[in-house]
Structure 1
Amino acid sequence: MDVLDDILDTLNLRGAFYYRTDFSPPWAVTVPDLRQAARFHLVVQGSCHVAFPSGASIELGPGDLVLIPRGRSHVIADRSGRDAPPLETVLSAVGYDGEGVLAVGDGDPAATTQLVCGHFTFRTGADHPILRALPEFLVTTNAARAREPWLDDVLRLVVRRVFADGAGSAAAVTRLSEVVFIELLRAGIGTDGTLRAVLDAFRDRQVGRALQLMHAEPARPWTVDGLAAEVGMSRSRFAARFSELMEVGPMAYLADWRLQKALSLLDDPQASVQQVAGQTGYQSPAAFTRAFAARFGLPPTEYRRIASNDAHRPRRDAGHP
């Protein structure tokens, strides 16, 4: 099985396109925090400066994309040093209602910065080494895209659909943006050592095989000895190699993954707690409830009630992330 696909599906990766811009200089905006989310900005025309609370900053040109994995607040502007009002203030000032282009300023059309902006969300409680390993931001330059044809093709499709403005364009961009996130991870563009190690684990012949086994049968009573035997390694070498790449031991990884699968399975109102416990490798509903509450701070029945209420709550306008 494809482990990365299973991870992102279980963590409930969902894309959202919330606007494209037409910014005339001078311009700047402070984008707020967005929990359980990753933001992206794709430059279609012009350039921009992006600054982060850590003090890091980047310059983006046509074709460049920045992914901000943990949805951290940041300032995006035509150049460094601008006063940057909050996003909500900018949206209110121009009367933006979430439809069409977010236009700011009335300068030379040839000098405007056009961006495609969106975000990805994950299920409440979503967690995995690959998410924890993501850096403050990832930059994909136009030059790097040329070396990743799948990613480049998808980004070109995103731009074409955004500017088509036809029926279903927003839905198409939303789905395509999910593919962008997956392809960014697969390509590993601009990754640091921690994320690169996790990505290497998926490709590693033996650790990758162990991950496939655990993801294919999470309820099976796996042991370190059993997994090591399946992949043809000694117990000690397997445990050390797995921990080196994933930054967590194989049994701790399995325990965490079982609970992530439980969050996903609880989305089905027809699945009883007993059934979810059995499908995630717990000997009894009581043992499952204890582990679930210890990890997430509430029992599975309460989590399901809250998640169901959230699912039926009206979503905010796409233009107001």
Structure 2
Amino acid sequence: MDVLNDILDTLDLKGALYFRTDFSAPWGVTVPELQQAARFHLVVQGNCHVTFPSGAEIDLGPGDLVLIPKGRSHILSDRSSANAPPLETVLERAGFTGQGVLVWGEGSAHAATQMVCGHLSFRGGADHPLLRALPEYMLASAATRARTPLLDEMLRLVARTVFSGEIGSDAAVTRLSEIVFIELLRAGIAEDPQLGAMLEALRDKQIGRALELIHANPARPWTVELLAAEIGMSRSRFADRFSSLMGVGPMAYLADWRLQKALALLDDSRRSVQQVATQTGYQSPAAFTRAFAGKFGLPPTEYRRALA
């Protein structure tokens, strides 16, 4: 099975387009934190300076895209601007209704910077070693795009679609943004050691196979010994290799993954809590409830009521 596909489906990856911008210098905006989300900004025309809470700074030019995987606050600006009001203030002052183009800045009517801005969200409570391995930001520069033709093609298509103004263009971009995220993950192998190790695990002949077994049947009573035997490794070598690549031991990974699958299954009101417990490998609803509450802070019945 495709483990990465199962991870992103279970965590409920969804794209959302905010708007496209026409910013004329001097301009600046402080983008607030957004939990369980990854924000992205694609520069179509002009330049954008990005400042992160850690103090890191990058400059984006035409064709560059930055993804902030963990939804952290950041500042977008023209370098000449020392004023970066909160996004909410900018939207109010600009009279932006959520439709069309966000126009902002004190310069001429001619826009200096045009961007496509949006975010990708995950289910509340979504957690996985892959998400935890994501860096503060991911940059798709001209060099990155040259190495990854499919990512380059997707970003070109995003830009063309947004500015086409055709019916359904926003919906198309939200779907395309999900593909861009996946291609950025693949490109991240060469850019970030921790993310590279995580993706290496998915491709590793033996560890990748162990992950396939867990994801194909999380309810099976797996043990380290059983998984090691299935993939032809000794118990100790398997446990060490899995932990080294995934950043967590195989049994801890299994326990966490069962709870992520439970979150997804609880979205379906036709399944009882007992059925969800059985499908995710728990011996009883009581054991499932204890594990669920320990991870998410409330029992599954209350979680389901909150969804409703």
Q: Same fold (TM over 0.5)?
A: yes
Contact residue 69 and residue 134 of structure 2 kept, 8 A: yes
Report matched runs for 1:106-185 at 5 Å. 107-108=107-108, 112-185=112-185
**Could you give the per-residue CA deviations for residues 283-312 of structure 1, whole angstroms, max 9, x where no partner exists?**
11111111111111111010011122xxxx
State the AA in 2 paired with 1:185: L
SS at match of 2:25: coil
Structure 1 residue 3 and structure 2 residue 3: aligned? Answer: yes
Query: Which residue of structure 2 aligns with residue 255 of structure 1?
Result: 255
**Could you give the per-residue CA deviations for residues 238-263 of structure 1, whole angstroms, max 9, x where no partner exists?**
00000000110000000000000000
State the AA in 2 paired with 1:126: A
**How has the CA–CA distance of structure 1 residues 162 and 274 changed in structure 2, closer, same or farther, with 3 Å as cutoff?**
same
Structure 1 residue 40 and structure 2 residue 51: aligned? Answer: no
SS at match of 1:55: coil
Q: Distance in 1 between matches of 2:90 and 2:286?
A: 51
SS at match of 2:91: helix
SS at match of 1:49: strand
Contact residue 62 and residue 142 of structure 1 kept, 8 A: no
SS at match of 1:238: helix
CA-CA distance at 1:50 after TM superposition: 0.2
State the AA in 2 paired with 1:306: A
SS at match of 1:219: coil
Between the aligned residues of both structures, percent identity stands at 72
SS at match of 2:125: coil
Q: Distance in 2 between matches of 1:188 and 1:202?
A: 14
Structure 1 residue 65 and structure 2 residue 65: aligned? Answer: yes
Q: Distance in 1 between matches of 2:32 and 2:186?
A: 28
**Could you give the per-residue CA deviations for residues 273-292 of structure 1, whole angstroms, max 9, x where no partner exists?**
11101110111111111111
CA-CA distance at 1:124 after TM superposition: 0.7
Q: Distance in 2 between matches of 1:109 and 1:144?
A: 33
Contact residue 207 and residue 242 of structure 1 kept, 8 A: yes
Q: Distance in 2 between matches of 1:40 and 1:131?
A: 16
State the AA in 2 paired with 1:258: R
Q: Distance in 2 between matches of 1:68 and 1:255?
A: 28
Give the TM-score, by structure 1 length: 0.93
SS at match of 1:98: coil
State the AA in 1 paired with 2:41: H
Give the TM-score, by structure 2 length: 0.97
Structure 1 residue 244 and structure 2 residue 248: aligned? Answer: no
CA-CA distance at 1:29 after TM superposition: 0.5
**How has the CA–CA distance of structure 1 residues 70 and 153 changed in structure 2, closer, same or farther, with 3 Å as cutoff?**
same
CA-CA distance at 1:158 after TM superposition: 0.8
CA-CA distance at 1:105 after TM superposition: 3.3
Q: Distance in 2 between matches of 1:210 and 1:65?
A: 34
Report matched runs for 1:36-115 at 5 Å. 36-79=36-79, 82-105=82-105, 107-108=107-108, 112-115=112-115
Q: Distance in 2 between matches of 1:205 and 1:169?
A: 40
**Count of aligned residue pairs for this structure pair:** 308
Contact residue 67 and residue 137 of structure 1 kept, 8 A: yes
Q: Distance in 2 between matches of 1:110 and 1:184?
A: 32
**Could you give the per-residue CA deviations for residues 66-99 of structure 1, whole angstroms, max 9, x where no partner exists?**
0001111110001166221111111111100010
Query: Which residue of structure 2 aligns with residue 314 of structure 1?
Result: none
State the AA in 2 paired with 1:220: R
Contact residue 49 and residue 58 of structure 1 kept, 8 A: yes
Q: Distance in 1 between matches of 2:106 and 2:137?
A: 31
CA-CA distance at 1:189 after TM superposition: 5.9
CA-CA distance at 1:193 after TM superposition: 1.7
State the AA in 1 paired with 2:246: M
Contact residue 135 and residue 191 of structure 1 kept, 8 A: no
Q: Distance in 1 between matches of 2:282 and 2:191?
A: 36
CA-CA distance at 1:143 after TM superposition: 2.3
Q: Which runs of 5+ in 1 are unaligned?
A: 309-321
SS at match of 2:150: helix
State the AA in 1 paired with 2:153: D
Contact residue 144 and residue 189 of structure 1 kept, 8 A: no
SS at match of 1:50: strand
Q: Distance in 2 between matches of 1:56 and 1:251?
A: 36
Contact residue 49 and residue 80 of structure 1 kept, 8 A: no
Q: Distance in 2 between matches of 1:80 and 1:222?
A: 58
Query: Which residue of structure 2 aligns with residue 206 of structure 1?
Result: 206
State the AA in 2 paired with 1:122: F
CA-CA distance at 1:266 after TM superposition: 0.3
CA-CA distance at 1:199 after TM superposition: 1.0
CA-CA distance at 1:190 after TM superposition: 6.2
